[in-house]
Amino acid sequence: MDFRQLETFVAVAKFKSFSKAADHLYLTQPTISSHISNLEKELNTILINRTNRKISLTKAGEILFDYAMNMVNLKEGAIFKLNEFKGKIVGNIEIAASTVPEQYIVPEIICGFNKNYPDVTFNMLHYDSQQVVEGIIHGDIDFGIVGAEIPHNQLNYVELLQDELFLITPASAPYCDFPEEVPLEKILEENLILREKGSGTRRLLEEALNASKIDLNNLKVVAYIESTEAIKQCIRRNLGISFLSSRAVVDEVNFNFFKTHRVQGLDLKRKFYFVYHKYRNPSPLEHAFQEFVCKYFKFK
């Protein structure tokens, strides 16, 4: 078996696409097709189903995939160690995150990893928590950081740090006299700005309200906004108040633009998780990143 053919087979299986495998390996699509066809001829079996425009592995392909992946990782492991010896690790890490981790956690992780591996590049993707989980399960995303643990038997979750949602108001009138702990019924009187469906922040708030027997429909919601930064700008312009992560408003609180309040009866504490596929074999670089992230916040 030609090693390039095995790399091609692994790429097609991973991306479920001949064109994406071609882009990943810097080859033409006809070359990708030729590698797969020649590998199937040599092994005298069909490895990839090509029906209905969907790429999937045959039973023979599933058997070969684990061996091929091990061989590719063994090669990459040797290159990784040699480059480490020479003092230059290169490669690319792809990480997807929901809004709060994307803006306030992932940059810290990337900067920390960059100090050890300055030649590694990153692709950071924005999805809500549900999309991150689904992308990892389907093999479209390697790593994710999310604000909600969505159980699945194919996923590993590693707790990184704790967070809390606060009710955020402007520090100016008419909210100057808002108490540090706001009565629950008070939020029914205020214009609220909420995150979009699917976000971990929105899910946590809904669960806390449900536990307190408050229907979301009873709130005076003036806007549903995906961007945390956009919500903060709306708060500053007195459109309404909102529930946001404490990590999202550190600067605004320090400069006395915002005040943070707890709401009586609402438990809005949560954890952020690093999530990855339990059964997928990471490359040596991905393994190094995985170990780095899992240890990073333990020493902070």
The CATH number linked to 68 is: 1.10.10.10
Same domain, 149 and 293: yes
Same domain, 198 and 258: yes
Q: What averages of pLDDT result for each successive group of 10 residues across the chain (300 residues)? A: 88 87 88 92 90 82 89 81 70 87 91 90 87 86 86 91 94 87 92 87 90 90 93 95 94 95 94 90 85 82
Range of the domain at 177: 162-270
Q: What is the pLDDT of residue 52?
A: 62
Same domain, 114 and 155: yes
Same domain, 69 and 101: no
Same domain, 151 and 279: yes
| End residue of a domain, out of 51, 86, 121 | 86
- Rg (C-alpha) for the chain, rounded Å, is 24
Same domain, 178 and 46: no
| End residue of a domain, out of 37, 68, 86 | 86
Q: What is the pLDDT of residue 300?
A: 59
- DSSP annotation of 49 reads E
Domain count of the chain?
3
Which of 162, 146, 171 has the alpha carbon at shortest distance from 251? Answer: 171
> Contact at 8 Å (CB) between 147 and 204?
yes
Same domain, 181 and 227: yes
Same domain, 177 and 34: no
Same domain, 149 and 201: no
Render pLDDT for 81-132 as a digit per residue (tens, 0 to 9).
Answer: 777 666 677 788 889 998 888 988 999 999 999 998 888 999 999 888 888 8
Same domain, 28 and 99: no
Q: What is the pLDDT of residue 200?
A: 78
Same domain, 264 and 131: no
Same domain, 132 and 204: no
> Contact at 8 Å (CB) between 128 and 196?
yes
Q: What is the pLDDT of residue 78?
A: 82
| End residue of a domain, out of 45, 61, 86 | 86
Q: In whole angstroms, give the CA distance from residue 31 to residue 251.
A: 52
Q: What is the pLDDT of residue 85?
A: 60
CATH classification at residue 156: 3.40.190.10
Tell me the CA distances in angstroms from 284 to 70, 79, 81, 92, one per residue in order: 11, 9, 9, 11
CATH classification at residue 256: 3.40.190.290
Q: What is the pLDDT of residue 64?
A: 93
Q: What is the pLDDT of residue 91?
A: 82
> Contact at 8 Å (CB) between 142 and 276?
yes
